[in-house]
Amino acid sequence: MTKEDWIWWQTFRDNLGHTISNDEYLKVSQLHAHYFDHKVNYPCKCSPKIIQSYIDDLNEFYIKNPTPKLR
């Protein structure tokens, strides 16, 4: 992950509640597309299963990748 994405994801994880804002929804969709090499897809908000799977995938990616140098 880039330093900026890593910091954003760390903040997102630290503040995660039961809902996400529209900006967070957009960013999660964009990050997932970038790091999992697919076109950006904004899943229907009526069923949170897909966006939750994006979050789960990104969490796993975040955990498996080393912390970038934050200088």
5-33 b/e (C-beta count within 10 Å ≥ 16 → b)? bbebbeebeeeeeeebeeebbebbbebbe
Q: What percent of the chain has pLDDT over 90?
A: 69
Amino acid letter, residue 3: K
pLDDT digits (tens, 9 = 90+) for 13-26: 988 778 899 999 99
pLDDT for residue 66? 76
| pTM, two decimal places | 0.88
pLDDT, the chain, mean: 90
